[in-house]
Structure 1
Amino acid sequence: MDEVNEPAERERPQALAPADEAMLARAQTLREITDAALRDVAQLYPADDHGSVLRDALFLQGLAERLVDQAVVAERERGASWTDIGHAASSSRQSAHERWNTTVGAWVLMQRRRTGIGRGPADPATHACDLDEWYEDLVGEQRAVSTLLSSLGDEAARAEGETRRAEARHLHDRAEELRKEIDAAYSAAMAATGTPAAREKREMWAAKHLARAAIYERLATVEEPLAPEHRRRAATQRSLAQDIARDRAPQSLPADDGTRQQVHAAYLELSDAERRGSKRAVAALLTERLNGVGADSVRKHLDAVIEAERTSYVLDITACSDPDTAQATATSLLQDYAPNTNFWRSQSHRLLSRYLMAAALDDADAATLHTWITHPDNRRPVELLRSGPMPEWADEVEEILSSHRKTRDNVLLVLQSVLQARVPPFKRSSR
């Protein structure tokens, strides 16, 4: 930290406990609604200023919508479940979660403290004092707002809130580091397939997922409003680790004189285009590259090598209900298959990761996923994403599918090729 910024960092006022920060933000919005409503009661609108009455009403409506969002955040900070919030809103738990989970997520992302230029002083004590004075002038009651904020005079509670915020930042940073380490561990495990180091590499890969699960479990404790989401992510990471540990694909090549391992290693070095050739052409290429291994030996082992490689990837669609896992899975599936330009790579990755999440939300299998990709007019994936944890992903899918037909078809063709090449054979679904 440089000397210019250091004093400003020291002078930054300490936030209240998260629950009090939420209530203070709510009180500020209630003040703005009250002031706006009182102003509008006696507002004189010129006869030629058409639309001004409606504009003022819509301004109040916007404040009211902000108040509702803040009320949900405050309820989550007070320990209310999504079922409680659903009952209060006369809706289901799922509907409440779909409507406000993004709002709660944004609050947590902002470290569970008040934000917004012009919405009260940064120092919570000064802000509470201003609101107290406003309320006293209006109603006559003293310290009406301050008395509701228990951590205002409790230094220990405020310090604990700051400690939790700092720990949450550290945990999120570590989760991101582990995501990158998982990608590297996956690559190492795939490269070691068919070698003596395969088991060790898979165990390291699984261990990274378990480490990430532990991070999310701790986040569920320090970021209570998102506890269900963090626990779900932890369960997803544990499930991935278990699937990796159970998979025996790297050991599916029986011990022999070493020829099969040589064929397998050479097969992994083939380009995507070379692997898509006929089996006879692939065998001829491998024979050329393997000095001392005859064509008969290559053909003898090639079927087993291709089958082992096809089944070595574990596609866990259920885990893709987590956005991070859906994107990581799409990255893994698309390696070696996405086109070599940033545009096509980005479009293919975006659509596949969104389809993977939709399939997870629908408890669908690989066959259903394939059906959606081959029938882009099917609205089911968009509907699922619209009501899921990432509703904005529905818009992205529609954007890609409504693009120029040639662009859309090229992206879909890539995804079809990926599923056929990386996912073991499956029965066609009628869904």
Structure 2
Amino acid sequence: MTDTPAIPETPRVLSPRDEARVRFALQAERVSKTALDLLPINSAAPRGERLRRTLGLKKVLDELVERAVVAEREEGTTWAQLADAAGISKQAAHERWAGDVRAWAANGRAMFPPDSEHSALQVAHRLDQVYADLDSRHSQDAVSSGLEAVRFPGAAAAEAARRERATGLHARLAVFNEQLTTAYAEWKLLNDAGARPGARVEALARLATLNEEIADLYEELTGAEPELADEHRNSAERARTSVTSNREYAELLAAKAEAAPAITSSEGN
């Protein structure tokens, strides 16, 4: 009697590439439904209703474009290639969509939160049926058959380990970003109130320290999430630029504070 090899268990959370692909497919379904809803002609509809609903279609279509960019980046498509596909410059493409990619990364690169009862694979199987029902010539597994979780189920453990490391870094990043928001609000209050230079210098030093920590975390994320390394490096660079700005302004305030007593003494004499 021979033992039957165990079938690898399909993970509930798929690879970021798979999650982004299913997320795009789900939005494509929403676009199709929204477009089909425009087919009926209602002669009693209020003036402007047709345009209003058409603009609603444009909104879900714009989101489909954003999800396409995220899925492309997860697959290794460069910003230059995305710019070429869109017929715009690389800089314009980055300015338009980099924020969407960063937001996707910050949310864990998954369709649903960890405690959700839903999964991307469930959505993929449902979309399989939706697509098959549209035309009898369509494949019965057009969505799920393209997923790595289905094609290479043995890679789940490696993906889980990478996700765990990245999740930890993003959790730390979220904490530092909250602290940065609070520290910036405190700095603004001190600055608007014309607080003594010493207090403002301390606040700027706090901002510089937090931005430095954030930059270091983004550098670590380039290794944990190599597909999104460009985004993480750009974020690290922005944080380091803020560090330089914070420290230069702090030095300027400190110099003014030191010069103030000398000026006052000179005026008194």
Instruction: Please tell me whether the aligned partners of residues 17 and 157 of structure 1 are also in contact (alpha carbons under 8 angstroms).
Output: no
Q: CA deviation at 1:83?
A: 0.7
Deviations 1:339-362 (A, max 9, x none): xxxxxxxxxxxxxxxxxxxxxxxx
Q: CA deviation at 1:68?
A: 0.4
Match of 2:222 in 1: 220
Q: CA deviation at 1:55?
A: 2.0
Give, as a single letter, the amino acid of the residue that structure 2 aligns with 1:91.
I
Instruction: Please tell me whether the aligned partners of residues 22 and 113 of structure 1 are also in contact (alpha carbons under 8 angstroms).
Output: yes
Deviations 1:360-415 (A, max 9, x none): xxxxxxxxxxxxxxxxxxxxxxxxxxxxxxxxxxxxxxxxxxxxxxxxxxxxxxxx
Instruction: Please tell me whether the aligned partners of residues 18 and 77 of structure 1 are also in contact (alpha carbons under 8 angstroms).
Output: yes
- Which residue, 27, 39, 54 being the options, matches 1:57? 54
Inter-partner Cα distance in structure 2 for 1:177 and 1:38: 44
Residues 303-382 of structure 1 mapped to structure 2, 5 A cutoff:
322=238, 324-329=239-244, 331-332=246-247
Give, as a single letter, the amino acid of the residue that structure 1 aligns with 2:110.
R
Q: CA deviation at 1:332?
A: 4.3
Q: Work out which structure has the larger RCO, using CA pairs closer than 8 Å and 6 or more positions apart in sequence.
A: 2
Match of 1:160 in 2: 158
Residues 1-20 of structure 1 mapped to structure 2, 5 A cutoff:
14-20=12-18
- Size of the aligned set, in residue pairs, is 214
Residues 140-219 of structure 1 mapped to structure 2, 5 A cutoff:
140=136, 141=138, 142-152=140-150, 154-173=152-171, 215-219=217-221
Instruction: Report the CA distance shift for 1:173/1:333 in structure 2 as closer, same or farther (over 3 A).
Output: farther
> Gapped runs of 5+ residues in structure 2?
1-10, 180-211, 258-269
Give, as a single letter, the amino acid of the residue that structure 1 aligns with 2:130.
W
Instruction: Please tell me whether the aligned partners of residues 33 and 60 of structure 1 are also in contact (alpha carbons under 8 angstroms).
Output: yes
Instruction: Report the CA distance shift for 1:134/1:85 in structure 2 as closer, same or farther (over 3 A).
Output: same
Root mean square deviation of aligned Cα: 3.7
| Partner secondary structure for residue 40 of structure 1 | coil
Inter-partner Cα distance in structure 1 for 2:125 and 2:175: 42
Inter-partner Cα distance in structure 2 for 1:174 and 1:85: 31
Q: CA deviation at 1:419?
A: 8.4
Instruction: Report the CA distance shift for 1:45/1:213 in structure 2 as closer, same or farther (over 3 A).
Output: closer
Instruction: Please tell me whether the aligned partners of residues 20 and 110 of structure 2 are also in contact (alpha carbons under 8 angstroms).
Output: yes
- Give the percent of matched residue pairs that are identical in Structure 1 and Structure 2: 33
Inter-partner Cα distance in structure 1 for 2:216 and 2:103: 23
Inter-partner Cα distance in structure 1 for 2:214 and 2:102: 19
Residues 391-402 of structure 1 mapped to structure 2, 5 A cutoff:
none
Instruction: Please tell me whether the aligned partners of residues 73 and 103 of structure 1 are also in contact (alpha carbons under 8 angstroms).
Output: yes
Instruction: Please tell me whether the aligned partners of residues 98 and 231 of structure 2 are also in contact (alpha carbons under 8 angstroms).
Output: no
Instruction: Please tell me whether the aligned partners of residues 169 and 217 of structure 2 are also in contact (alpha carbons under 8 angstroms).
Output: yes
Deviations 1:47-81 (A, max 9, x none): 25222211221111111101100110011011011
> Gapped runs of 5+ residues in structure 1?
1-12, 181-208, 237-321, 338-416, 423-431
Match of 1:421 in 2: 256
Give, as a single letter, the amino acid of the residue that structure 1 aligns with 2:165.
E
Deviations 1:201-257 (A, max 9, x none): xxxxxxxx7x987654431122234312433566x5xxxxxxxxxxxxxxxxxxxxx
Match of 2:110 in 1: 113
Match of 1:199 in 2: none
Instruction: Please tell me whether the aligned partners of residues 18 and 148 of structure 2 are also in contact (alpha carbons under 8 angstroms).
Output: yes
Inter-partner Cα distance in structure 1 for 2:120 and 2:155: 14
Inter-partner Cα distance in structure 2 for 1:213 and 1:327: 10
| Partner secondary structure for residue 87 of structure 2 | coil
Give, as a single letter, the amino acid of the residue that structure 1 aligns with 2:128.
D
Instruction: Report the CA distance shift for 1:326/1:153 in structure 2 as closer, same or farther (over 3 A).
Output: same
Instruction: Report the CA distance shift for 1:34/1:232 in structure 2 as closer, same or farther (over 3 A).
Output: closer
